Amino acid sequence: MYVRSDVQAAECSFLQSWYGSAPAWLLVGGQPAVAEEVLQRHGISCILSCCDRLPLPPWTRNHRASMRDSAEERLEPFLEEALRFLREAKAAQQKCLVACHAGSSRSVTMVLAYLIMEEGMSLHNAWDLVRTQRGSAQPNRSFARQLIELDRAVHGVT
């Protein structure tokens, strides 16, 4: 997986396909990335919101995973529908923004879970990829533990 670095981190970060030549479709960001002008400038037509307070425009295809950024929050109840939404966006060749308030914990966690479960990446490689473009990436400790468990379940080791 290659990462494009030509997008301002304050908005969103592109995660490009492993093949490098395919158009970037998966983005991660915070509330500033949901601004209409940002979405239009980057051709984003799908938004996976990982929080309940993020305003979503009516002209984008949206899915809300109302996660709390807390030690008590479990990822499992949100994964199936969120990953289905991301698979559908990729299959339709639509750019999809995964966003939360700050773009550092919940959205990054969901992108890491997607990379582990759908793209077959190890947590280590997925984390390296995301961190290179999203310097503010910092899942909370509970999410980090759950991602380690997920990686072990998918790949057998971490």
Confidence of residue 50 (pLDDT cuts 50, 70, 90): very high
Tell me what the mean pLDDT of segment 115-133 comes to: 89
The pLDDT, as a whole number, for residue 11 is 55
- Single-letter residue type at 83: L
CB 133 within 8 A of CB 9: yes
DSSP state letters, 2-28: EEE--S-TTTEEEEE-TTSSSPP-EEE
Tell me what the mean pLDDT of segment 129-151 comes to: 88
Residue 15 φ then ψ, to 5°: -115, 115
How many domains are there within the chain?
1
Q: What tens digit of pLDDT does each residue of 74-88 get?
A: 999 999 999 999 999
CB 14 within 8 A of CB 24: yes
pLDDT over 70, % of the chain? 84
Where would I find the beta strands (DSSP E) of 9-151?
12-16, 26-29, 44-49, 61-64, 95-99
- Confidence (pTM): 0.86
What's the domain range around 121? 2-155
Round to whole Å and give the CA distance between 79 and 60: 21
Number of residues assigned to the chain: 158
CB 137 within 8 A of CB 108: yes
- Check pLDDT > 50 for residue 65: yes
Please give the positions annotated as active site.
100
The pLDDT, as a whole number, for residue 134 is 74
**Residue-averaged pLDDT of the chain:** 84
The pLDDT, as a whole number, for residue 13 is 56
CATH number at 45 reads: 3.90.190.10
